[in-house]
Amino acid sequence: MTVDLSQLQKGVEDISQALNELQKEESERSANIEILQKRQTELKEETEKIILGKAVVDGELEILREERDKIKKGIEIEREHADTIILQKEKEFTDRWEGKHAELRSLDDSLDKKIRDANIKIEKEKSKTKTKQDFTITASEEAIKLKLGEISNREERLDRKQTMLKIKERQLLKKELEIKQKQVQLEDQIKTFRMHSRY
């Protein structure tokens, strides 16, 4: 049997070329495996960072919630305290006002009795007592006006304080919303990472 050396040599070259291509593919596959392993390590590190960041955000969110609860409780206490003070001041004012009226009525009765007892003497006493009565009424009215002013000032201060507390509460709610948005972004990153990890 005659062997065609040219065909045999061509077959050897084809086999050699095929082996070279296989080696090249093997090298590329090894390089791709290294790249994938490196990417997997990077994704793992990113995941750990995301999980750590989420834990930090959760901690900040919990602190904000506690602070918001404290502020709400403080506002409720201030309102209760303000209501108690206002009611107490109103009662004190009413009691003093009624006491002054009773005192004035008693003075009037005393004057009437003295007038009936002696006309001349009562005319003099009436003038003195009336002057004293006018002075007492004026002083009482001034004291009542001062107390009313104090109550009004106290109410204004309480209103300002409640307004400041409401502003701070709105700021906390805004910050809480920002943290929630950040948490959603982190969760989206985790989902994206998991989707890439599947592939």
What are the tens digits of pLDDT across the range 94-127? 777 677 666 666 766 665 566 566 566 656 655 6
Q: What is the pLDDT of residue 31?
A: 84
**Cβ(162)–Cβ(79) under 8 Å?**
yes
**Number of neighbouring beta carbons within 10 Å of residue 97:** 13
More confident: 75 or 21:
21
Q: How far is CA 142 from CA 90, 137, 151, 152, 155, in A?
A: 16, 9, 14, 15, 20
Dihedral sign for Cα atoms in the order 92, 98, 104, 109? negative
Q: Residue 48 — pLDDT band, cuts 50, 70, 90?
A: confident
- What pLDDT is attached to residue 111? 58
**CB neighbours of 65 closer than 8 A, spacing ≥ 6?**
176
Calpha distance 189→196 (Å, rounded): 11
Q: What is the pLDDT of residue 118?
A: 56
Q: Of 47-61, 77-91, 184-198, which has the strongest mean pLDDT? A: 47-61
pLDDT range class, residue 1, cuts 50, 70, 90? very low
Q: How confident is the model at residue 139 (pLDDT cuts 50, 70, 90)?
A: low
What's the pLDDT score for residue 34? Answer: 87
Residue 48, CA atoms < 13 Å, CB-side half-sphere: 5
Can you give the pLDDT at residue 120? 66
Instruction: Give residue-wise pLDDT tens across range 31-44.
Output: 888 888 888 888 88
Grade residue 71 by pLDDT with cuts at 50, 70 and 90. Answer: confident
